[in-house]
Amino acid sequence: MALPVREQLKYWSIAAAVFFVLLYALGDQLLPFFLGAAIAYFLDPIADWLEGRGCSRGLATGLITVAAVIVFVLVTMLVVPTLVQQAIQLFNTAPNLARDLGAFLTEKFPSLLDEGSTLRQSLNSLGQTVSDRGGQLLNSALTSAASLINVVVLFVIVPVVAVYLLLDWDRMIEKVDGLLPRDHAPVIRELATEIDRTLSSFIRGMGTVCLVLGTYYAVALMLVGLQFGLVVGFVAGLLTFIPYVGALVGGALAIGLALFQFWGEWHWIAAVAGIFMLGQVAEGNVLTPKLVGSSVGLHPVWLILALSVFGALFGFVGMLVAVPMAAALGVFVRFAIDQYQQSLLYRGVDGQGKPKPRPED
């Protein structure tokens, strides 16, 4: 005989409270394990695909590990130094860009920006602030990240955790399934499948979209000769998970830089704008429909709220678990709404005391 609903709610509430307390208290210590689990979850479909082609789980994990190490070494040697260098140069160039913008506006609109105008002083102040604080912010971020995630954690523990979890992923799922309450196992499996579908579509799909678009923007902008093209492409790709924001921010930044660099050479400015237009066409018509699908279930506003709340409560670890938690909560909310719409509280009863049909029925 199953426990009463009130008792079940009590136990599940206690379990949820314990989880959040542990997350709050042990956030920094749990970080490498969350990172390793995220990497293993992301790579699990590749391991399953290799298994389907005749590889054992161990061989599939080994092949993925070797490929990941090669990619990591290449990116670390070829991309990261240039990215950091361009970011620092962009911060240092900000005052000159602000002065050039002020000079341009003064030339075109002399009455708008005289030497003592508030707007002129604001532009100069903004550029100097970005220069003074931008590099300091970048260095502080790198320093704090280094103190939060030490070299051992970043380069040893996370890969080891990811490899072990990837190797044992299917066995772990079977063990967890065997521990489910028998009365609720079918419903829990259904909800878990829906959460996995949402996460697969969003994390794996949008992660791939962000990587493809970020690489495309960076390479294309560098090919047309735009300064700081790698940084702009990185920012645009990183923000692509929020619809239109990545293209708008990256496009505005790229076109603004192109106006300063290519002023008078309108074909290069048009080429920069065309790069982002082509990227948006490819994202909307090819990448997102193929890799993400049309029914993800994570509204951008819901995602931003989850990132803000979990980030404020639990720091960087909270931001890591924000998307899975947002997906899970979304699935639970939709399940609760469906249960409510099937209940007598929503449907009521007819004159004979029988439940009324649902409106859509």
Instruction: Dump pLDDT digits (tens) for 312-345.
Output: 777 767 777 777 788 788 888 888 888 888 877 7
Q: Is the pLDDT of residue 164 over 80?
A: yes
Instruction: Among 248, 263, 294, identify where a domain stops.
Output: 294
Residue 80 pLDDT class (50, 70, 90 cuts): low
Same domain, 160 and 268: no
Same domain, 94 and 164: yes
Q: What is the pLDDT of residue 90?
A: 65
Asked if residue 97 belongs to a domain, the reply is yes
Same domain, 167 and 28: yes
Q: What is the pLDDT of residue 106?
A: 62
β-pair partners for 355: 349
Those residues with Cβ within 8 angstroms of residue 211's Cβ, 6 or more apart along the chain or in another chain: 237
Tell me the average pLDDT across 27-35: 75
Asked if residue 165 belongs to a domain, the reply is yes
* Number of domains the chain contains: 2
Q: Is the pLDDT of residue 100 over 80?
A: no
Give the whole-number percent of the chain exceeding pLDDT 90. Answer: 1
The average confidence (pLDDT) of the chain is 75
CA distances to 93, 132, 134, 157, 215 from 98, in Å: 9, 14, 14, 44, 28
Same domain, 158 and 259: no
Give the whole-number percent of the chain exceeding pLDDT 70. Answer: 69
Those residues with Cβ within 8 angstroms of residue 240's Cβ, 6 or more apart along the chain or in another chain: 206, 209, 210, 213, 214, 246, 247, 283
Domain residue limits at 55: 21-135+147-173
Tell me the average pLDDT across 134-145: 51
Select the more confidently predicted residue: 144 or 247: 247
Asked if residue 12 belongs to a domain, the reply is no
Same domain, 87 and 216: no
Asked if residue 350 belongs to a domain, the reply is no
Those residues with Cβ within 8 angstroms of residue 327's Cβ, 6 or more apart along the chain or in another chain: 195, 198, 199, 202, 297, 298
pTM assigned to the model: 0.64
Residue 353 pLDDT class (50, 70, 90 cuts): low
